[in-house]
Amino acid sequence: MKVKLLTLIVLFAIFATGCNAPDNSSQLIQKYDAISKIMVRNALTNRTGYKWLKDFLKIGPRLSGSPGNFKAIEWIKNKMKEIGLDSVWLQECKVPHWVRGNVEKAWLLNNKGEKIKALHIADLGGSIGTPPKGLTGNVVEVSSFEELKMLGPKAKNKIIFFNEKFDYGEVNTFIAYSKAVKKRVYGAIEAAKVGAKALLIRTVGSSYDNKPHTGNMHYAENVKKIPAAALGAIDSDYLSSVLRHHPDYKIKLKMNCKNLPDTISYNVIGELRGSKFPNEVIVIGGHLDCWDKGVGAHDDGAPALQTLETLDLIKRLNLKPDRTIRCVLFANEENGLNGGKTFGKYAANDKNEKYIAAIESDRGAFTPRGFSVKANKNVLKKIQSWLPVLNNALIDWIKKGGSGADVGQIKNVIASIGYVPDTQRYMDLHHSANDTFDKVHPREMELGTAAIATLVYLISQEGL
């Protein structure tokens, strides 16, 4: 009963102002304004994606190649069928297969070799383990790559403690992160180059606790592979202070993480076929993999499900998009980007379809702020002209900028777009045990769904 009334209201909203009326700007705004308001209200009231999220996160961690990854693929596939999409398929891709193992320990030892304190660490993704009995060494603290490179022989056989702090003064936490993350990605290479035998980095995140943030790290050819882990922020300050007084104290590390041979995983793809221009495609998506210390609630469970709920929202409002909307849940954003790359190649070779837009949601599920658009001037201007409609879902701006790691792999697209919610709390959780369901607020998540759905529907009806 409720649904039928809603359908009528939506139909009224579509036709009241005349579908074929000349689309001058204010008429266009008026037409979509009503629909977008219904989307917002429906998303906020039903909380469908939020309910999905609660169930989805019960799978646990979903790192590529892990049992959780395959369960997530099944879950998404089934949900796409349940929604009643026009087609659902899996797209195979090769992914790295790193396993954390069950030993992830660090201790501070005094100069008699006695254990003084257990420290909170998280092995970095891709790291090798230590020898089975562990690895012990003196510690050298640095706070920059310059310092590290200048250590010379002092670093020989030492454990490097890279204690560079997160820049709390930076208003955009993603910029602060991009500065801080270099030590995680390249630290082991540079530490090995100066002869270190292991790397401990200060956790890359904005929370002040002992739940260190993991994340991908790199090795380089012809440079020795050394174990690498992140140390909790509180323990990092503790260690730094101890070392000032006792530079001879040591660290013992015991980690049995390892890299297994690459394995097969899948992008999960589902779409609503366009009723007028089925060969014009709008891609929306996020990634289904996540790091394994938490359950990837904000990175990228909720945002990925926002894009999936977008299709459900369009279906449940009985809207018939003119263009095809294809949701791609990418397999491997966290440690390889092979899901994105595979889809990017597929799109490049896809001669039957025209890729109009690709929208990624991978910056958490906090309150909407804007969209970041990579497109030519005219396309950007067209999307910006829709701001009054998108503002119904609290989108305050549409700016030129990057989109996202996965959809950025689709090169033959007119507009590559990133959904941008508020970032202030995100780096507290990102890649850590803090990234759990209770951190997602239903209203904030659902407003994001409504924002994405509004933009997707505008593109599907108006083209780019």
Q: Which C-beta is closer to a copy of itself: that of 287 or that of 369?
A: 369
- In terms of Cα–Cα distance, which of 293, 299, 290, 287 is closest to 439? 299
Site for a copy of itself in 354-383 (CB under 8 A): 367, 369
393 is a contact residue toward a copy of itself (CB under 8 A) = yes
Cβ proximity to a copy of itself: between 173 and 335 the closer is 173
By C-beta, is 41 or 320 nearer to a copy of itself? 41
Two structure tokens written together for 88: 């659902």
Which contiguous run of DSSP H or E holds residue 380? helix 377-384
Percent of residues in the chain assigned helix, strand, coil, to nearest 5: 40, 25, 35
Distance (Å, rounded) from C-alpha 287 to C-alpha 331? 6
* β strands within 134-221, DSSP E: 135-142, 159-162, 198-202
Q: Which of 12, 15, 89, 397 is in the footprint of a copy of itself by CB under 8 A?
A: 397
Judging by DSSP bridges, how do beta strands 250-255 and 323-330 pair with one another? unpaired
Taking CB under 8 A as the rule, does residue 41 contact a copy of itself? yes
Contacts of residues 174-182 at CB distance under 8 Å and 24 or more positions apart, as own/partner, are 174/363, 174/423, 174/426, 174/427, 176/206, 176/427, 177/204, 177/205, 177/427, 177/430, 180/204, 181/215, 182/145
Contact at 8 Å (CB) between 186 and 201? Answer: no
Q: Which is nearer to a copy of itself, 82 or 396 (CB)?
A: 396
Give whichever of 44 and 379 is closer to a copy of itself, judged by the CB atom.
44
H or E element at residue 145: helix 145-150
Binding residues for a copy of itself restricted to 289-308, rule: CB under 8 A = none
> Which residues in 192-211 contact a copy of itself (CB under 8 A)?
206
Give 253's contacts (C-beta < 8 A, 6+ positions apart).
105, 106, 121, 130, 134, 135, 136, 159, 198, 200, 227, 229
Pairing relationship of beta strands 368-374 and 397-400 according to DSSP bridges: parallel
333, 360, 444, 446: which one is catalytic?
333
Q: In terms of CB distance, is 161 or 426 closer to a copy of itself?
A: 426
Q: Which stretch binds a copy of itself (CB under 8 A): 17-25, 138-146, 164-172, 246-254?
A: 164-172
Q: How many CB atoms lie within 10 A of CB 426?
A: 22
Please say whether the beta carbons of 149 and 190 come within 8 A: yes
Least Å from the CB of residue 131 to a copy of itself: 41
Q: Is 290:333 a contact under the CB 8 Å cutoff?
A: no
Binding-residue total with a copy of itself (CB under 8 A): 26
Q: Does 170 bind a copy of itself (CB under 8 A)?
A: yes
Residue window 308-347: x/- pattern of binding to a copy of itself, with contact defined by CB under 8 A: ----------------------------------------
Decide: is 432 part of the binding site for a copy of itself (CB under 8 A): no
Map residues 43-82 to x or -, x wherever contact with a copy of itself holds by CB under 8 A.
Answer: -xx-x-----------------------------------
Show the tokens assigned to 404: 């996202």
* Distance separating alpha carbons of residues 426 and 364, to the nearest angstrom: 6
Stretch that binds a copy of itself, among 65-73, 128-136, 405-413, 420-428 (CB under 8 A): 420-428
Q: Facing residues of 268 across strands?
A: 90, 329
Residue 29 found at the interface with a copy of itself (CB under 8 A): no
Residue range at the interface with a copy of itself (CB under 8 A); choices 66-74, 183-191, 327-335, 389-397: 389-397
Q: Confirm whether 333 is a catalytic residue.
A: yes
105 near a copy of itself, judged by CB under 8 A: no
Would you say 30 or 367 has its CB closer to a copy of itself? 367
Binding a copy of itself (rule: CB under 8 A), the pick from 42, 69, 256, 416 is 42
What residues line the site for a copy of itself (CB under 8 A)?
Answer: 40-42, 44-45, 47, 168-171, 173, 206, 367, 369, 392-394, 396-397, 422, 424-425, 441, 443-444, 447
Query: Which residue numbers are catalytic?
Result: 333
